[in-house]
Amino acid sequence: MTNPREQWQEAFDASSIRNDKFQTMSGIPLEPVYGPEDGEFPGIYPYTRGPYASMYRSKLWTMRLFAGFGTAIDTNQRFKDILKSGGDGLSTAFDMPTLMGLDSDDPMSLGEVGRCGVAIDTLADMRDLFADIDLGGITTSMTINSPAAVLLAMFVAQAENAGVPRVKLGGTLQNDILKEYQAQKEFVFPPRQSMRLVRDTVAFTAAEMPRWNSISISGYHIREAGSTAAEELAFTLANGFAYVELARQAGLPVDAFAPRLSFFFNAHIDFFEEIAKYRAARRIWARWLSKRYGATSERSMQLRFHTQTAGVSLTAQQPEVNIVRTAIEALAGVLGGTQSLHTNSMDEALALPTERSARIALRTQQVIAHETNVAHVADPLGGSYYVEALTDQMEQMAEEIFAKIDEMGGGSMLEGCIVGIDENWFQGRIADSAYELERAFNRGERTIVGVSKFLEGNEEDQMETLRITNADEQKQRQRLASVKQDRNESAVLDALDRLAKDAVDPEVNLMPALVDASQVYATVGEMMNTMAGVFGRHIEVPTI
Amino acid sequence: MTTSDNQSLRVLVAKVGLDGHDRGVKVVARLLRDAGIEVIYTGLFQTPETVAAAAVDEDVDVVGLSMLSGAHMTLAPLVVQAIRARGADIPVVIGGIVPNHDLEELKAAGIAEILGPGAPASEVVEAVRRAAAGTSKV
């Protein structure tokens, strides 16, 4: 039996190392990780110190900036620019109507078409979005939840038409519906029916798209909605356990499914607590996957995550100060061992970011990556009495919340998550925490620079922010009208009819019917409405 | 319409359109309630018409819109119009993310008060009282 350090060394020696000088500015050579022989090590169970033995010595985190633009043609141009400048991953932001499964000509879409992302109504838009891009040679991430199955089907249909086989398609679908009911509120169908669609996408991708990551489990929105760090940690991992149980119910072995999961966390302003949160997340996930779900593959137990700095921590007052907040939050993500990172722009408490402020946000990451040397050593805060104690406490608080969810579900985390949503338990806890934080601010217990103190400078003129016109909305409506005019109406009706029939039988996987409906130019709204006819719609009864 | 500080106010807080950010609206609802104001919350995904109908039916003194998605220039004026189309003159207050360059146009469209991010509870309550009393700056 080798000791933990020897195990780590073996894994480290097997890793490829990027070209860099791993030393301090005064020339002190740096070890890849520091710690006692028998302590925890990165890449070794329970992965508290990182999922990989070599961490950033092999590869720096991915500097992923999420953005969306008006029409599919505009976004396609942006995609091509990214690919030309050496990127190999595309990240698609959809507009609000698409996220809610509505067409651009729906009355509810008024004022929102193409505003916060690209508008997709039919396969014609999907074709424009990926025109002249080799879908087999890149990875595509799609941030979409309620209509995730529909957009995945359209993507598959587009690839099919472009001659790219499904096995070659690589990418990620957010597809995390549970947090929509808990926090982000982009829901359409009731929870159980939505989970059936998640199951269908998971089973479909497992069988046909081996390079596809089917769910990105997101705590970011839970935190932005007002939860504490411990609640973000616990609710997110609980949702993860729920998806693992869902996949098991669908007959997928845990080691076939869990390696396809990734996570998405917030990086808030309470620096050390955030770092402890990431460390606790990795340890908890490894333990639960191994002990409760019987995973044996390392990949199943290694929690990998994306981080975004906290939008809610930004202030409209003296927005330049947000660069500092974002830098500190980004540093927490990096010291916590994130695999990819999005840094918010300074003007996002005012509007969508300008190109200039988005560039500064990227530069912030580049300073951390290339000037500070913080990426040289894995888990640099591991072994700190303080951070280790906080990590243990975060873990303990999360375990208490898991026990409650497990109890609500009668021994099932899947049931517990759904019951907790039905009973407004998650939503209530998040609202309570948000209210408590606001009261602390109003009592003067929480200082926000430029808002509650240090106000000199607030009277200066507000910085210039991005202005958006409604021109794209008109363009997209016309586009949809012309697609509808040119399509074979009876083929659309047949396809929707079959979708409705398939939806009635919960044993049937809906993906084939959705792909076929996409191929005949059924709209996102038509497919969603057809399913809503069978599934019903979720109406939140809010509590205040 | 005049309403003194002591008289009980009724406020409808609302989310219009597809913007699902409901953290602010829920916190504001509780803060107003703490200040002794009666609060009704519409829930998510309302239209200008449903908000106006609820405001008139509930006979509220003020309508508060929470808007964070950038659709305020399209939707907020429609709420004012829908209220007026019902022959009512209920003042509308907006809270959320509204850039300065939109303020003038929103005021011109009949919005009584606009509260930016970070407004403390006291300021929110004051703005609602001013709107109800008809003493908002135009």
Nearest CA distance, A132 vs chain B (angstrom) = 32
A531 within a domain of the structure (yes/no): no
A122: CATH = 3.20.20.240
Put simply, the answer to whether B47 touches A462 (Cβ < 8 Å) is no
Does pLDDT of B6 surpass 50? no
Put simply, the answer to whether A544 touches B117 (Cβ < 8 Å) is no
**The pair of three-digit structure tokens given for residue A37, joined into one six-digit string:** 């022989």
Q: Which of residues 34-73 of B touch A (CB under 8 A)?
A: 39, 41, 43-45, 47, 69-71, 73
> Computed over its alpha carbons, how large is the radius of gyration of chain A?
23
A394 within a domain of the structure (yes/no): yes
Contact A476, A119 (CB under 8 A): yes
Residue type, B80: V
* pLDDT the model gives residue A194: 98
* Residue A357, domain extent: 55-442
Is any Cβ of chain A less than 8 angstroms from the Cβ of B31? yes
A197 within a domain of the structure (yes/no): yes
Chain B residues touching A461 at Cβ < 8 A: 100
What separation in angstroms does the CA of A497 have from each of A103, A493, A507, A510, A534?
19, 6, 17, 12, 11
Contact A428, A541 (CB under 8 A): no
A399 within a domain of the structure (yes/no): yes
What domains does chain B contain, in order, with CATH numbers? 10-133 (3.40.50.280)
Q: Which of residues 430-459 of A touch B (CB under 8 A)?
A: 430-431, 434-435, 438, 441-442, 448, 451-452
Rounded Cα–Cα distance for residues A20 and A13 (Å): 16
Kindly tell me the burial class for residue A29, based on how many C-beta atoms sit within 10 Å of its own C-beta (0-12, 13-18, 19 or more).
Answer: exposed
A20 within a domain of the structure (yes/no): no
Is any Cβ of chain B less than 8 angstroms from the Cβ of A97? yes
Q: How many structural domains comprise chain A? A: 1
Chain B residues touching A350 at Cβ < 8 A: 97, 99-100
Tens-digit pLDDT profile for residues A250-308: 999 999 999 999 999 999 999 999 999 999 999 999 999 999 999 999 999 999 999 99
Low-confidence spans in chain A with pLDDT less than 70? 1, 66-69
Contact A47, A13 (CB under 8 A): no
Is any Cβ of chain A less than 8 angstroms from the Cβ of B17? yes
Chain A residues touching B117 at Cβ < 8 A: 315-316, 349
> CA neighbours within 13 Å on the CB side: how many for A78?
19
Chain B residues touching A116 at Cβ < 8 A: 69-70
Sign of CA dihedral B108, B111, B113, B114: negative
For A255: left if phi > 0, alpha if psi spans -120 to 50, otherwise beta; the answer is alpha
A494 within a domain of the structure (yes/no): no
Contact A307, A241 (CB under 8 A): no
Put simply, the answer to whether B71 touches A544 (Cβ < 8 Å) is no
A86 within a domain of the structure (yes/no): yes
- CA B98 centroid distance within chain: 13
Does pLDDT of B73 surpass 50? yes
Does pLDDT of B2 surpass 70? no
Report residue A92: phi and psi, to 5°: -105, 120
Beta bridge partners of B11: B39, B62
pTM score of the predicted model: 0.95
* pLDDT the model gives residue A2: 83
Model ipTM? Answer: 0.91
Rounded Cα–Cα distance for residues A75 and A118 (Å): 7
| CA-wise closest residue to A327 among A312, A341, A340, A339 | A341
* Chain B: residue whose CA lies nearest to A541: B43
Residues in contact with A405: Cβ distance below 8 Å, sequence separation at least 6, in sequence order: A234, A238, A413, A416, A417, A420
* pLDDT the model gives residue B86: 97
The larger pLDDT score, comparing residue A366 to residue B99, is at A366
Put simply, the answer to whether B70 touches A540 (Cβ < 8 Å) is no
Q: How many helices (H) and strands (E) does chain B have?
A: 5, 5
Put simply, the answer to whether A542 touches B22 (Cβ < 8 Å) is yes
Tens-digit pLDDT profile for residues A478-511: 999 999 999 999 999 999 999 999 999 999 999 9
A7 within a domain of the structure (yes/no): no
Compute the count of residue pairs across chains A and B with CB atoms less than 8 Å apart: 106
Look at strands B10-14 and B92-96 and give their pairing. unpaired
| CA-wise closest residue to A378 among A267, A234, A282 | A282
